[in-house]
Amino acid sequence: MNAYPQSVIKLISEFGKMPGIGQKTAERLACYILKQTTEEAMQLACAIRDVKKLVKTCSTCFNVSENDPCHICSDLSRDRSTICVVEQLADFLTIEKTGKYRGLYHVLQGHISPLEGIHPESLTIEKLLHRVNAGHIKEVLLATNLNMEGDATALYIHKHLSPSGVRVTRLARGLPTGSYLEYANTAIVADAINGRNEMAEV
């Protein structure tokens, strides 16, 4: 017999659906909510509501924002001749924290992985190619993860960008092969940006 009331069981179940949250952690989070005052708990509930209500996807770079275009695409002080391509929002945040990159971004919303049913058309690659072909872009920095899926995605994009004549670069291999960008040390990511290399033809 479960010791928790049904409403608490439901809360634990919802927490358990989050990535990286196991049963024990879900229970601890639920107990934390129970200990909060109603006002404190409602602040969390309202924050979740507002995120789902107000946040949208930028139609240009596919970053998240409360405005379209997002604050990065709208910032005229950014280098508008360079696009940094990342797999997901967490990777964008990692690169921004370094303070070493002042260009634009493009969020792929994943990586190519046929085994997972993720093909190029499942991502925003076509939109990236349109942005580059529209002109004014001189460099595309491919900041996909340095693992098999990230490399395959970078190679696919590089192949399709070759006819455009833009400079295509890749993060320097100061980042360990097989690593995920969002977990990397900020200083290492900064060095990888500064030391980025031209992508070779395959």
For the chain, give every domain's residue range.
6-54, 64-198
pLDDT digits (tens, 9 = 90+) for 15-56: 999 989 999 999 999 999 999 999 999 999 999 999 999 999
For residue 201, what pLDDT band results from cuts at 50, 70 and 90? low
pLDDT digits (tens, 9 = 90+) for 137-178: 999 999 998 888 999 999 999 999 999 899 999 887 665 666
Q: Comparing 6-54 with 64-198, is the CATH topology the same?
A: no
Mean pLDDT of all residues in the chain?
A: 90
Looking at domain 64-198, which CATH architecture does it have?
3-Layer(aba) Sandwich (3.40)
What is the fold of 6-54? Helicase, Ruva Protein; domain 3 (1.10.8)
pTM: 0.78
For residue 200, what pLDDT band results from cuts at 50, 70 and 90? low
List of long-range contacts for 180-187, beta carbons under 8 Å, 24+ apart: 180/145, 180/147, 181/86, 181/87, 181/90, 181/91, 181/94, 181/95, 181/143, 181/145, 181/146, 182/88, 182/90, 182/91, 182/93, 182/94, 184/94, 186/94, 186/97, 186/98, 187/98
